[in-house]
Amino acid sequence: MGGMEGRAEAARIVLEFTILFLPSNGLRKRVSEARLDVMFGNLARFAGLASLPLFLAVPGSAAAPWVFGKLPMVAQPLDSALAHTWDGIRKRNIQPWSDGLVHRPKSETPGDAVSEGQAYGMIVALYENDQATFNKIWDAAESKLWNDGNAYYDWRYENGRITGSGLATDADQDIALMLIFADALVKKGIWTEHQSPKNATYSARAQSILNTLWSKGINDGNLRPGANWGGGGTCSNGAGSWNCGDHVNPGYFSPANYRIFKDFDPSHAWGDVVEKSYTTIQKSPGYGKGLLPDWMNLDGSYPTSSALGYNPFYGGKALYKDAIRVHWRLAMDWMWFQEPRAKTFLENAAKFIGSPDKANFYTMEGSLVPAESTFTLSGEKGPSRSRREHSALTVGMWACAFLPRGTEAAEPWAKELLSFHGEGTDVWGLSRDPLGGQEDTAHNEIYFDQFLAWFGASSLAGRFTNVLADLNASDAATVQAWKNRPFVAFPTGNGAGAPMLTATLVKPGAWAVRMIDTASGKEWSTTGVSGSIEILVSELVGSDPLPTGTVQYEFRARGLKDTVLFERGITAVDRFRPRSGPSWIANGGRLDVEVRSGALLTLRHPDGRVLAQVRAETGSTSLRVPTSGLVLLEVSNDRESTVHRVLLLP
């Protein structure tokens, strides 16, 4: 389960909840709803819960409490994967080391740490509302990486010492953004005040980083790779000069950051950095395809310098692991600020890539990077893999290009991304590559791939929000909840026609509804951002025929940790007929249960008391119902034991 450290955790076991009632026209109708929260300590109250062919709703990190859901989200549920991945990152990248830094277990010098990794860890910790880990990472970066004389984080650390000095601008700008967000959370009373080992507060360090970025990382409004990092050329700003390179890394450009910096730090012209970033992006040789090279000059030409920074590939002329971040970074600017230039570039990318199976790394001409080009993990000790990569990393980043098209267009990307996250696992990656290549957990970096997949997934889930906008919303103090819980309204009379799915939230927010035909597995979905939900099933299925059997419905709303699940037949029926197990019908003061083979039937009160018990043979058996309201029907045989919730109206 997500967030086991420092958080109270519960197992949310979702059991079928069937409401049986007899309307005046004599037709039995039912609405099934799944929502039973059971703490680990209460499991002993229920006998026979070891094998439940029912639904499991995983709690944890549906959204941090300030994410109120104004960004749309896809219908595919990604919250569990996000929470579990964060657990995996802490387990593999932080906890094995005593210094608190985010490490790279499989880099060319295994176990090193870079400033970028500290930024990424702080991003995920903040959006997972994990202040303890956020502080742990930041404190470690302050102690191990902060350069007091130059007021930036040195970019690389290993074996107890700095092995790469200089400012990497992408890392420091992301750390500054997270510190600004953290400061806002403190001011709202959501997080508590904290000072680093350098006696810096969140806001004070954010300001010192922005001062340094402006004096040593930006030249004439252009974000450079960094100070004394990147090789070649000299940049200057006022009286100072530094070794900065003749080129830029456009995958570093993050206009959404600069818009927030502009409000936080009005003393510097951050608006110029927004404009210069888009000017350079538009000169990319792959602009029409939504492609950027890892490294380029400001005029769109390729660098001639051989010193292209850390670990360059293909002469910096391909969209590889640096540049691919542009889709996520520009998606931020579109989703947070509706920047049309971001939408145009992302639309170019969406047209070029087309479908999720094409997600990979590309040259500016639009061809895949060479399959024969490989790299080796863990220095020379680990496995090698091709740089041509269809993985959670590439799917997560390319998926962001489809966000301006809306959630329906992004839905297949969410599904493809989830295919790289096995149920119950805590890592993005498959144990075996379904296409026969090398995308498996043994060949994962267990660093860059995990973070970029998380960024893509959280963007699809509508969780990568502008925290300041969330906190400043007029209804921010209102806690999201169901005003009217999800319900399936069926037609009156003989039940002909399609039902309507309805629900109401206490305030407008992002929601998603999925409908799954349990016989065929086919699913339909829709999403929205509003306070009310009214969906005709006939409109949801479109041109498809209505399912005629049992259908599973799933309702989710951003800001709510639980997923409402229930099953219902499309047509009116007078008996409950699940896909397997017993069927039953309420008849006055008794419950008639039909089983397919011999079983022990036990009727329990929710507190565990036995109300009735009978050994049933194949066929129908009656149990006296001594009470109205909720009862638990337990059906046990030699193979399994199942529990069904039944609400009997008086």
The pLDDT of 429-440, averaged and rounded, is 75
Instruction: State the residue for tokens 């037949």.
Output: 569
Q: Which of 50-64, 90-104, 427-441, 498-512 has the highest average model confidence (pLDDT)?
A: 90-104
Collapse the DSSP code of 607 into the 3-class scheme (helix H, G, I; strand E, B; otherwise coil) and give the result: coil
Residue 354 exposed, middle or buried by CB count within 10 Å (0-12, 13-18, 19+): exposed
Considering the domain boundaries, does residue 572 fall inside one?
A: no
Q: Output the pLDDT for position 502.
A: 86
Same domain, 26 and 164: no
Considering the domain boundaries, does residue 3 fall inside one?
A: no
116 is catalytic: yes
Same domain, 353 and 308: yes
Same domain, 348 and 392: yes
- Report which of residues 76 and 424 the model is more confident about: 76
* Residue 561's pLDDT band (cuts 50, 70, 90): confident
How far, in Å, CA of 201 to CA of 207, rounded? 10
Tens of pLDDT along 603-625? Answer: 888 778 888 888 888 878 888 87
Name every residue whose Cβ is closer than 8 Å to that of residue 320 and which is 6 or more positions away in sequence: 294, 313, 314, 361, 369, 387
How far, in Å, CA of 378 to CA of 445, rounded? 9
Considering the domain boundaries, does residue 645 fall inside one?
A: yes
Cα 268 off chain centre by: 33
Mean pLDDT for all residues in the chain:
82
Half-sphere exposure of 313 (CA within 13 A, CB side): 20
Same domain, 167 and 127: yes
> CA of 342: how far to CAs of 176, 256, 277, 284, 466, in Å?
22, 10, 11, 14, 16
How far, in Å, CA of 632 to CA of 634, rounded? 6
The pLDDT of 200-210, averaged and rounded, is 98
Considering the domain boundaries, does residue 538 fall inside one?
A: no
Name the helix (H) or strand (E) containing 330.
helix 326-337
> CA of 344: how far to CAs of 248, 335, 337, 355, in Å?
21, 13, 14, 18
Q: Which of 430, 464, 498 is the last residue of a domain?
A: 464
Name every residue whose Cβ is closer than 8 Å to that of residue 174 and which is 6 or more positions away in sequence: 116, 119, 120, 122, 123, 254, 257
How far, in Å, CA of 546 to CA of 538, rounded? 7
Report the phi/psi class of residue 610: left, alpha or beta, with left for phi > 0 and alpha for psi in -120 to 50: beta
Percent of the chain with pLDDT over 70: 80
DSSP string of 468-524?
HHHHHSTTTTSPP-EEEEEEEEPPSTT--S--EEEEEEEEEEEEEEEEEETTT--EE
**Among 87, 116, 154, 333, which one carries the catalytic annotation?**
116
Name the pairing type of β-strands 384-386 and 362-363: unpaired
The torsion angle over the Cα atoms of residues 181, 182, 183 and 184, rounded to 10 degrees, is 50
Name every residue whose Cβ is closer than 8 Å to that of residue 550 and which is 6 or more positions away in sequence: 518, 519, 567, 568, 569, 577, 578, 579
In the predicted structure, residue 232 carries a pLDDT above the cut 60: no
Considering the domain boundaries, does residue 408 fall inside one?
A: yes
How many domains are contained in the chain? 2
The pLDDT of 92-109, averaged and rounded, is 96
In the predicted structure, residue 237 carries a pLDDT above the cut 80: no
In the predicted structure, residue 578 carries a pLDDT above the cut 60: no
- Report which of residues 264 and 307 the model is more confident about: 264
Q: Which of 449, 464, 479 is the last residue of a domain?
A: 464
Q: What is the pTM of this model?
A: 0.79
Q: Output the pLDDT for position 133.
A: 98
How far, in Å, CA of 585 to CA of 578, rounded? 12
Same domain, 46 and 87: no
Residue 262 belongs to a domain with what CATH number?
Answer: 1.50.10.10
Neighbours of 288 (CB within 10 A): 13
Same domain, 274 and 317: yes
Considering the domain boundaries, does residue 523 fall inside one?
A: no
Q: Output the pLDDT for position 550.
A: 79
170 is catalytic: yes
* CB-CB contact of 535 with 514 (8 Å): no
* Residue 340's pLDDT band (cuts 50, 70, 90): very high
Q: Output the pLDDT for position 584.
A: 67
Comparing 135-139, 169-173, 183-187, 234-238, the range with the smallest average pLDDT is 234-238
How far, in Å, CA of 68 to CA of 509, rounded? 6
In the predicted structure, residue 234 carries a pLDDT above the cut 80: no
Q: Which of 441, 464, 487 is the last residue of a domain?
A: 464
Name the helix (H) or strand (E) containing 616.
strand 610-616
Q: Output the pLDDT for position 239.
A: 60
Name every residue whose Cβ is closer than 8 Å to that of residue 168 and which is 6 or more positions away in sequence: 114, 115, 116, 153, 155, 225, 226, 229
Residue (of 140, 277, 296) closest to 221 by Cα position: 277
Considering the domain boundaries, does residue 420 fall inside one?
A: yes
How far, in Å, CA of 466 to CA of 438, rounded? 36
Same domain, 99 and 144: yes
Tens of pLDDT along 351-383? Answer: 999 999 999 999 999 999 999 999 899 988 888
Considering the domain boundaries, does residue 190 fall inside one?
A: yes
How far, in Å, CA of 240 to CA of 84, rounded? 46
Q: Output the pLDDT for position 236.
A: 75
Q: Output the pLDDT for position 593.
A: 81
- Report which of residues 459 and 38 the model is more confident about: 459
In angstroms, what is the C-alpha Rg of the chain?
A: 28
Comparing 44-48, 124-128, 403-407, 457-461, the range with the smallest average pLDDT is 44-48
DSSP string of 422-465?
-TT-SSSS-SS-TTSSS-SGGG--SSHHHHHHHHHHHHHTT-S-
How far, in Å, CA of 70 to CA of 509, rounded? 5
The pLDDT of 338-349, averaged and rounded, is 98
Same domain, 149 and 296: yes
Q: Output the pLDDT for position 190.
A: 93
* Residue 282's pLDDT band (cuts 50, 70, 90): very high
* Residue 488's pLDDT band (cuts 50, 70, 90): confident
Same domain, 44 and 193: no
Same domain, 107 and 234: yes
Residue 648, domain extent: 9-61+580-606+613-650
Q: What angle do CA 375, 376, 379 make, to 5 degrees?
A: 135
**Among 139, 170, 389, 426, which one carries the catalytic annotation?**
170
Same domain, 163 and 230: yes
Residue 638 belongs to a domain with what CATH number?
Answer: 2.60.40
- Report which of residues 320 and 27 the model is more confident about: 320
Same domain, 386 and 448: yes
How far, in Å, CA of 335 to CA of 463, rounded? 11
